[in-house]
Structures are given as structure tokens and as C-alpha cells.
Chain A
């Protein structure tokens, strides 16, 4: 069982996404590969998704942020970790489709062997993303998504944007206190392709 002293109570990270800020457009792809080849990776981890069509908060810790708050926009791009069952009760979830599933996902996680990472992002209304993999180390965490069109019968406009929250069950218990680098990339290549590229890059760096 992991030490509760190592695993701090609740780590709220309101830092803006940094790793892929320059290349997280709808069609571009790929932020840089983390320098340390010893980083951990989970390919196709379990995840759940919430979505809303305004900038209001989807998941938060502590008091519910107000949507008129200047922080609202920041919140939409923020992220935090849930590292114990006790912390789950401190997580607020907006009343959107899938809220119950998200709550159950948090409650059913075995925090002795897993950590949930919650990441917010903004996306064009007609698109969605699939989580391909997550990489993390003691200081950094980075997610990779494949962008896809939503179904043809989903009514949406090209110039509108939605907020997404992704709950990622990372299959390892770890202390996120020292994580201060957050990155995310997305592109039009499928998860199979993106995961293959990652494997190739890691194989190459291991050979060096």
C-alpha cells in the first residue's frame, strides 16, 4: 500500500497546459517527446469523458467555481489528480450527461494501484477526441489524443467550441505533488498510429 504521506491529499493543478501549447490546434499533431526515456507510459488506459457546450466547469475540487469567474476559462484548461477514495467526495461534478458514470468511475477506482488524472480541454463542437496514451514521471505528465469527427447526425457548427473533461485511470499509484509540467497533444492520426509512433520513438531512444 502506498504511503499516505507520499500521496498528498489532493493536488490541484491550475497551471495552463504548457507542453503542447504551440501545437495543439485541431489539425496539427504532436508535442515533443519527453526527454527522460525512463518515463512511465500507459497505452489505452481506462478513461471517461464529460462534455459541455459552454465554458462552465465540469469537474472541480472544493467549492464549485462560478462560471462568471475570470478563472472559469482557466479552469476549463486545468487539471488535477485524485489519489485516494477519501478525496473522491471532495470532487464536484457538473450535472451534465455522464456525470453519474464519471462519479462511479472515481468511486470504483482502486487507489492502491491507480491514480485518476482529470484533464480539461477545449475542442471544436463537431469533433471529439479519444485518449491514446498518457506518459508521466515525477515531474511531468503528458496525454495524447486522436481527434475524430463526431457522428454526422450530431448537430454542431464549425465555429463553436465545447469544453471537455477527461478522467484518466492511470494504472499506478504515485505521488503527483512534484508534477509541474503538463502537456497534451492531439492530431488527426488514429490512436493505433499515435501509439505505434510512441513505441518506435521509445525503441529508438532505448537503442541509443
Chain B
């Protein structure tokens, strides 16, 4: 297994950050599980599905982005001491940013797919630029004003790409993934008028702005490359715009009709099923998480905004809807998913791994299915990392949240092939 990818690190951070939520149970918290057995359970790791994109990214582009990242790192002395930066807190910030960027560059260089490699450098460069620009502000008097021309150039480049970006593609499904990746990068923006977190003259304020500009720079450069390579691979350059718009309307209508078919759900207690009490169990947490994006009162209106991204969100919404529906049915059928022993955790985890492997092997629409699985396997790895850190005597109640994540991953993995087929067939119609 390669190092921690950015997404995996984020998933882990999320799992750890919310872990406390799972410990709030007021139920029977006296049951404890053998921590060594829990650690053993996750010792062999879990399946990973790297994020991929159906574009052949050129070696030249990889070299350029990697060189840029390493050049930025080279601008900052590796061993900054009190002579270089007397203020220890500022010195620590610059040093840590450089260290994080060094680690991010190494992770990117060893990423399991070309696309994750591209994303990895896109993550590393802003932090490297923060360190480099903060140091240049101290060492060479760089100011925020000096950076404004860089910001203007990025804005102009992004605008130019927006103007020439068209939803070209021979295959509406594979092209969707490419255009959503381009849109995600074009939707980023830099606000040079945003109030700085630092007072005027603080070198970290210069680093802050340079970081924002670098994030936008790499986003625009990568978007441009993905778009040009995608277009170059096409014989037929017809636009998919009207097809995508129609698909979005159809998917929205289908989604609403499918949601209306759900048994009545109390949005305050989406885990509540007549005659069954799963409160304070992983199932209640999982049902709550799956329902959150479905709640008509709070859901994001994914039928607006960037076209390709909204279709990707539609896909996720269908996955969540079907995952919620299936998990709720299992609860209605009497399954409790209670955690009273390591065997209970093991059974749920095994079922989750099986569901992920089965979805990954599903041949129907891998380009859509695997984009969901990439996120879900990151979450899986996050939970595994948490269990790998289990106390020798782990309270069963503290496992409620981690195990609920297994359940959501399992439910989504089961739902994703049919959701992918539904979206793909709508796109092809």
C-alpha cells in the first residue's frame, strides 16, 4: 500500500474528528471489546480504488507540475533557524508548511494512479508556495502587492478557458467525468480583496495570498491540460450540452419520484422504523448520514450550477437514496447491527469489504461506479486506521460511529452499480 493519499488523510481526519460523536451514547457503555483483536482485524488493510480519469495526461505535464513543486521547496532553506526567522511562531509555520509540502510531493510522486498523482501535486504546490512566499517576504521583502499581477494572469487564463470550454465528447458517460473534473478546477477562485488573516506586514499574509494564487494556478493549468488532451482524443467534436441538460432534468424528476416512494421518514429521526428501535446503534448513525443529503428541507439543489458537476451530484444522490432505502429495509426486517463483540465488528466489516469488491468488479459503468468507490474506500481506510489505534479495552459504544461508517460504505457500494446504470442510461438516451 502506498502512503496516505490526500483524500485518505481527509477521510481519516473526518473520522477522527467525528469519532467523539460516537462516544456520546447514553446506552449501556459498560461492554468492552478486546482492542488487540480489533487491531488484528484491520491489520491486512482494505481494498483501495484509486480515482482515475479517462484522459491520457502527458509526461510533460507531470514533469512541469512536479518541477514547479520541487522548485518552490528549493526556495526555502530546509533548516530555518532563529537567525533566519527570529520569531519562533512564524518560523514554525514556515517550517511546518515546507515539511508538509515535502511530504505531499513525495505522496504525489508515489500516487497509485495518474489522476491522483496530478491531484497530489495540486495539493502540494499551494503549501509549498505558502512557505516559499512567506520566506521571500522575510528574506527579500516580497509584498502582497507584488503578487497582484500573478493573480490577474490566473484570472484571465481561467476566464479564457471558461469561454472555450465546451461539453465535447463521443461518449457522454466518460466525457461527464472529464468535464466534471475540469469544472471543479474552473469553479475555484481567488479573492485578492479577501481580508488577510494577518496584519499588514506579516510575512505569513504574503504567503497566504501566494498560496491562494498557486491553488488557482495549478487548477487552471490542470483543467486546461485535461481539456486539451480530451479534445485532442476526439474525432467527433459534437457538443453534449443539450443532452446533459435534458439528462439533469430527467434525473431530478426520477430522483424526486423515487424519494416520494420512500415510506414516510421523520427527518428528525430518519432511523425510526415502525416497531424497531435502533436508536444508539451504528444503524441509526448510518441512516442519519445517508438521509442528510436526501432531506428535502436541506438538500443542495444539485440541478443548478456547473452542468457536469451537477450530474455527478445527481449520481451521488441516487446512490444515497438507494443506499438509505436498502439499509432501512434491512432494519425494518429486524436487523440490529448491534456491537457486542469483536465478531460483530468483523462480520459488518467483512460484508462491507465484500460489497466494495463486488461493486468494483461490476462491469456495467466502471467510470461512474469507481469514482464513488474511490471516496468510499478512503472512508473505509479512515475507519480502519481508527481501529488500528484501538485501546486495549475499547468500549463498544465508542465503536458506534466507526461501525456506522462501515454500514454507509456497504450500503453505498451495494447501491452504486444500479445508480450508475440509471445515470448512464439517462445520459445515453
Contacts and interface: CB of A to CB of B under 8 A. Distances in A.
A148 B92 contact: no
A193 B195 contact: yes
Interface stretch (A99-107, A154-162, A172-180): A154-162
B203 A152 contact: yes
Nearest to A155: B86
B197 interface: yes
Nearest to A148: B199
B85 interface: yes
Nearest to B196: A190
Interface string B191-219: 00001011101111000000000000000
A156 B87 contact: yes
Contact of B89 (A149, A153, A190, A192): A149
Nearest to B138: A152
A157 B195 contact: no
The size bracket of the interface on B is 10 to 19
B88 interface: yes
B363 to A, nearest CB: 50
A152 B93 CA distance: 11
Given A149-B204, A152-B138, A158 B88 contact: yes
A154 to B, nearest CB: 5
B209 to A, nearest CB: 15
A24 interface: no
A188 B197 contact: yes
B81 to A, nearest CB: 12
Given A149-B204, A152-B138, A158 B199 contact: no
A116 B62 CA distance: 62
B195 A158 contact: no
B273 interface: no
A178 to B, nearest CB: 37
Q: Which of B89, B197, B199, B201 has the most CB of A within 10 A?
A: B89
A47 interface: no
Interface in A177-194: 188, 190, 192-193
Interface in A115-159: 124-127, 148-158
Nearest to A157: B88
A149 B202 CA distance: 7
B27 interface: no
Interface string B42-68: 000000000000000000000000000
B82 interface: yes
A155 B117 CA distance: 40
Nearest to A130: B199
Nearest to A188: B197
Contacts of B19: none
Interface string B84-124: 01111110100000000000000000000000000000000
Contacts of B195: 190, 192-193
B199 A153 contact: no
Q: Which of A127, A156, A188 has the most CB of B within 10 A?
A: A156
Interface in A8-45: none
Contact of A126 (B89, B197, B199): B89
A74 B175 CA distance: 67
B89 A155 contact: no
A152 B199 contact: no
A154 B87 contact: yes
B89 A151 contact: no
B86 A127 contact: no
A174 B179 CA distance: 66
Contacts of A188: 197
Interface of A: 124-127, 148-158, 188, 190, 192-193
Given A188-B197, A193-B195, 11 more contacts: A126-B87, A126-B89, A126-B90, A149-B198, A152-B86, A152-B87, A152-B90, A155-B87, A158-B92, A190-B197, A190-B199
7 contacts: A148-B202, A149-B202, A149-B204, A150-B87, A153-B87, A155-B86, A190-B197
